[in-house]
Amino acid sequence: MVNLKALNQLPKLKRQNNSQYIMIMYNKFWKELYIAAFRRLQSEENAEDILQDVFLSLLESDFDFENEQSVRALLHKRLKSRIIDFFRKEILKTSFENQKILQNDYDDTYSDTWLLSNELEFIVQQEINNLPEKMKEIFLLSREERLSNEEIATRLKVSGKTVRNQLSTALKKIRATIHKYNSVELNPSIVNIFITLSAVLFSNR
CB 121 within 8 A of CB 190: no
CA 197 from chain centre, in angstroms, equals 6
CA atoms of 188 and 89, how far apart (whole Å)? 16
The closest of 205, 178, 192 to 40, measured between CA atoms, is 192
- pLDDT at residue 63, as a whole number: 60
The rounded radius of gyration (Å) of the Cα atoms in the chain is: 20
Reported as a single tens digit per residue, the pLDDT across 67-108 is: 778 888 889 889 988 988 888 888 777 665 555 444 444 444
- pLDDT at residue 71, as a whole number: 84
Mean pLDDT of 29-52: 91
